[in-house]
Amino acid sequence: MINRDRILAEFLELVQVDSVSGQERAIADLLAARLQELGLEVEEDRAGAETGGEAGNLIATLPARGPERPLLLVAHMDTVEPGRGIKPVVENGIVRSAGNTILGGDDKAGIAAILEVLRVIVEQELAHGGLEVVFTIGEEVGLIGAKHLDTGRLRSSMGYVLDSSGPAGTIVVQAPTQDKIEAVIHGRAAHAGINPEDGINAIAVAAHAVSRMQLGRIDEETTANIGVISGGKATNIVPAYCRLEGETRSLDGGKCRAQTAAMVEVLEKTAAQFHARVEITTTTLYPEFKLDESHPAVMLAKKAAERLGLVPQLIKTGGGSDANILNSRGITCVNLGIAMQKVHTTEEFIRVEDLATNARYLLEIIRMMTA
C-alpha cells in the first residue's frame, strides 16, 4: 500500500523548504495545505505568537471510520542550522545533503511518514478510530511548540512521536529530564600589562570552576556538560566578565537535580575563593518519562513491528523530544525510531527504503489498533 516513490518525492520536497527553528512559516503553510487536501480539519495555534516565532503548531484531525479510539501522531517542523538551502542528493538508495548543510530528516522523515500513511488511509478508505496529527514548532530549541500546545483540545489518550534514531521497530520507553545552567562570573578589570594584580580574571575563575566539575558521563543514567564559555573585551584587559552555559541530564530526576546543584556549588565556591561574584540561573527544560513495557502503546508498537518482520527494540535514550512534554501532560506517547542517521551534522543521511518502512510500520500500528 505504501508508495515508495511518492514518499521519497515528498521527503525531497519537504527538506528543500527552509524551516530552521523560529522560521517555520513556509513549511507550516505547505503542510496545512497538504492536510486539508487529504480531508483533515486543520488549525494553527498561537504558539508562534507566544514565543516570537513565525508560525504556530498545526493541529489536524481525521474523523474516525469505525468505532472511535483516537490516536495522536506527532512530528516537528523545525530543523537545526545549517539548514538553509538544502539540496538533497539521492545515490545508491541513500538520501543525503550536498554536504554543506544538514539533510533535515530530523524530523521531516517523520512528517513524510505521517503524510504517506494519511494518504493511504484516505485512498483505501481504511478503518481507523480517528487520527489527531500535531506538527510542532521549535522542538530543536527546547520543545517550545509542545510546551505551548493546549493538550486539552486533544482527545487522544495515547500516541506516537516519530523523532528518534534507530530503525523502524525502535521503541523509546524512557527518556531523561534536562536542566540548563547559565552562569555569569563578575571579576574586576585592570590593565593586563601595567597592573594585572589589581584585576580579577573572570575567565580564569571560570576555568578553575570547570576544572573542578565532574563532567561527561556521571553514571549510566546521568550526564553533564559545559558547552559555551565567552568573555573578555581585549587581550590587554583583565576580563571582568565571563559567561558559561551548560546542562545536566538524567533518566532519574533526582540525580539530575543533584548534579545541577553540585555544579552550582562549585561555581559559587570558586567565585568566592577568587573574590569574584557569580550569578547563576538554572532551568528545567523538560521532565523525564518512563513507560511500562505492558502499556498498550508499547505493546501495540512491539506487536506491529513483529507483524512486519521487524525487530522490536525497547530502549532508553539520552535525548529529549516532544514525547517528554506529552507524557507529562497525561498523553502516553512512545517515541519511534525512524532510521535517521548522523543528524545535526552535514553528513546526515537516510535510506530510501527506511522512509518507506517507517510509513509501513506506522500504518500497521494504526491497522492493529483498529482490529
Q: What is the CATH number of the domain that holds 117?
A: 3.40.630.10
Q: What is the mean pLDDT of the chain?
A: 97
Question: Looking at the structure, do residues 155 and 242 belong to the same domain, yes or no?
Answer: no
State the catalytic residue, choosing from 10, 24, 139, 140: 139
Q: b/e per residue, 64-86, with b = 16+ CB within 10 A?
A: bbeeeebbbbbbbbbbbeebeeb
10 plus 31 within the same structural domain? yes
Q: How many structural domains is the chain composed of?
A: 2
Same domain membership, residue 159 and residue 111: yes
pLDDT value, residue 362 = 98
pLDDT digits (tens, 9 = 90+) for 214-261: 999 999 999 999 999 999 999 999 999 999 999 999 999 999 999 999
Answer yes or no: is pLDDT of 1 > 90: no
Q: What is the DSSP letter of 342?
A: S
Residue ending a domain, among 245, 266, 286, is 286
Mean pLDDT along residues 71-81:
98
User: What pTM was estimated for this model as a whole?
Assistant: 0.94
Residues 113, 124 share a domain = yes
Q: Residues 161, 198: one domain?
A: no
Cell numbers representing residue 62 in the block: 481525521
Q: Which helix (H) or strand (E) holds 270?
A: helix 253-273
Res 371: pLDDT: 78
User: How many CB atoms sit inside 10 A of residue 31's CB?
Assistant: 25
Q: Tens of pLDDT along 15-50?
A: 999 999 999 999 999 999 999 999 999 999 999 999
Considering the domain architecture, whether residues 48 and 71 belong to the same structural domain is answered as yes
Last residue of a domain, one of 242, 260, 286: 286
In the chain, what percentage of residues exceed pLDDT 70?
A: 100
Instruction: Tell me the C-alpha distance between 226 and 179, whole Å.
Output: 12
pLDDT surpassing 90 at residue 370: no
User: Average pLDDT of 288-315?
Assistant: 98
Residue 116 annotated in active site: no
Starting at the edge strand found earlier in the chain, the sheet holding 216-219 runs 216-219, 222-231, 241-250, 177-186, 277-286
Q: Tell me: do 264 and 207 sit in the same domain.
A: yes
| Catalytic-residue membership of 139 | yes
Residue finishing a domain among 286, 308, 339? 286
Catalytic residue among 78, 163, 288, 322: 78
Q: What is the pLDDT of residue 47?
A: 97
Do 200 and 293 lie in one domain? The reply is no
Mean pLDDT of 304-326: 97
**Domain at 228, CATH number:** 3.30.70.360
Calculate mean pLDDT across residues 330-359. 98
Same domain, 218 and 344: no
Give the domain extent around 218: 177-286
Q: Give the model's pLDDT for residue 298.
A: 98
